[in-house]
């Protein structure tokens, strides 16, 4: 017979069975009481005298385990959501920092560009200087026939290592010495004299400015892979600096950048070089690029003498080609450059123009406009055997002329005409 006490015990236990799943659902995943709850209920059942069948015990344990798994899954979802939010915040912070750096860099670049423009306008602005007048020919102001004969005989007797040579007296226009002067030969970096002349023409005509800034690109290096240059790609220089380095130190990247930055590009520049050659009457001259590294750039000593006379009229070409040396600032470093012509560096030649050249196909080449004992001459030597023989040839030419040169005629104020 069921007593009131046993009925109360059964009611209490039944209430526990109802509240147990609810308790499991609100318990923390990490709570050690989850699995023990069902055991507690089972223990409570025994304590109250309520017997539980194996099925009821199994059901209680299953409910506890199911609640535990659900809480674990919910916690995993919460952790994943929190991690995703953390990553999103981290990415947003990284993007903001990147944008801030870009803004700072852009501002710095703009400031540097503004400073360069201001410096160019206030300090380094270089306007094209007027060209010197062409030397007036005076056929009557000639060396005596005996002197001319002696110079030629001594040149022939002592010989030159150059395969082709030409020496012209600029006053009389007379050829003092020639050797294979019409032979068409590769001219190496003598090409840069025409590069400079065409660029000077473009400045004079207002197409470009000496202060234009030019940045060296990969194309300036790819064309000249077999040559060396200390000018780093990505560095920026004004046009006059590049011309200075191309003429004085024969820098090939500088020369290529000048041609590449010409209005219309490199091919337009090469066309302008060949057009200028035809205008000057250089009938046996042809250019394919502005550096001289190609052996397809060809000319003759006779044609180059014409080029030297014309280029020597340009103040920038005279200044840059005969400069002994210079220094430039590149990315915080000071680079020192010197003239590729040892005669220009020596200081005992009066030079109005100087340019050396060398590639294997052309040999050692040299062109100069010089004043020897107050008499202007043009000297062209192509395909010398080596540097020393080229310099010896030039020194020998000067020594012979100085020994027998005629002084310019002095005309008194009372002389007629």
> In degrees, to the nearest 5, what angle opens at C-alpha 119 toward C-alphas 209 and 130?
35
Structure tokens at 254: 């500088």
The DSSP output letter for 408 is P
Distance CA 73, CA 32 (A): 17
Distance CA 356, CA 192 (A): 9
* CB 51 within 8 Å of CB 9: no
Strands 325-330 and 213-215 come out as unpaired
Strands 164-169 and 375-384 come out as antiparallel
The residues pairing with 371 across neighbouring beta strands, listed in sequence order, are 376
The residues pairing with 20 across neighbouring beta strands, listed in sequence order, are none
In degrees to the nearest 10, what's the CA dihedral of 13, 17, 23, 27? 110
Write the CB contacts of 405 (distance below 8 Å, at least 6 apart in sequence): 143, 147, 372, 373, 375
Instruction: Please report, for residues 228, 309, 406, the alpha-carbon distance to residue 348 in angstroms, rounded to integers and kept in the order given.
Output: 29, 21, 20
The DSSP output letter for 123 is I
The DSSP output letter for 286 is B
Question: Which amino acids are annotated catalytic?
Answer: 189, 192, 250
Distance CA 334, CA 314 (A): 28
The residues pairing with 325 across neighbouring beta strands, listed in sequence order, are 338
């Amino acid at each position: 017979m069921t007593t009131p006490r046993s009925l109360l015990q059964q009611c209490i236990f039944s209430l526990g069975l109802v509240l147990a799943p609810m308790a499991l659902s609100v318990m923390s995943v990490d709570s050690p009481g989850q699995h023990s709850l069902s055991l507690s209920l089972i223990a409570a059942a025994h304590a109250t005298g309520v017997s539980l069948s194996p099925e009821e015990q199994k059901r209680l344990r299953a409910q506890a385990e199911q609640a535990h798994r659900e809480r674990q899954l919910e916690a995993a979802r919460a952790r994943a959501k929190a991690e995703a939010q953390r990553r999103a915040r981290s990415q947003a912070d990284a993007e903001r920092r990147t944008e801030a750096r870009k803004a700072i860099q852009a501002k710095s670049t703009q400031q540097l560009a503004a400073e360069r423009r201001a410096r160019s306008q206030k300090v380094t602005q270089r306007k094209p200087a007027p060209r010197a007048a062409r030397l007036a020919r005076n056929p009557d102001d000639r060396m005596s026939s005996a002197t001319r004969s002696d110079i030629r005989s001594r040149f022939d007797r002592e010989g030159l290592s150059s395969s082709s040579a030409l020496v012209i007296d600029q006053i009389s226009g007379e050829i003092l010495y020639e050797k294979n002067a019409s032979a068409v030969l590769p001219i190496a970096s003598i090409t840069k004299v025409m590069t400079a002349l065409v660029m000077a023409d473009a400045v004079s005509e207002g197409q470009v400015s000496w202060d234009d800034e030019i940045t060296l690109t990969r194309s300036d290096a790819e064309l000249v892979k077999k040559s060396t240059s200390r000018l780093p790609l990505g560095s920026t220089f004004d046009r006059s600096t590049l011309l200075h380095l191309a003429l004085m130190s024969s820098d090939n990247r500088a020369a290529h950048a000048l041609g590449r930055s010409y209005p219309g590009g490199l091919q337009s520049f090469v066309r302008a070089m060949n057009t200028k050659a035809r205008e000057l009457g250089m009938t046996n001259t042809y250019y394919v690029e502005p550096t001289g590294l190609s052996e397809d750039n060809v000319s003759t000593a006779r044609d180059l003498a014409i080029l030297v006379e014309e280029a020597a009229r340009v103040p920038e070409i005279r200044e840059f080609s005969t400069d002994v040396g210079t220094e430039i600032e590149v990315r915080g470093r000071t680079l020192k450059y010197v003239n590729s012509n040892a005669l220009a560096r020596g200081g005992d030649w009066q030079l109005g123009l100087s340019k050396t050249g060398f590639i294997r196909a052309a040999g050692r080449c040299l062109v100069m406009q010089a004043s020897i004992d107050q008499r202007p001459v043009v000297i062209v030597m192509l395909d010398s055997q080596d540097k020393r023989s080229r310099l010896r040839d030039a020194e020998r030419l000067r020594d012979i002329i100085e020994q027998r040169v005629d002084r310019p005629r002095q005309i008194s104020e009372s002389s007629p005409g």
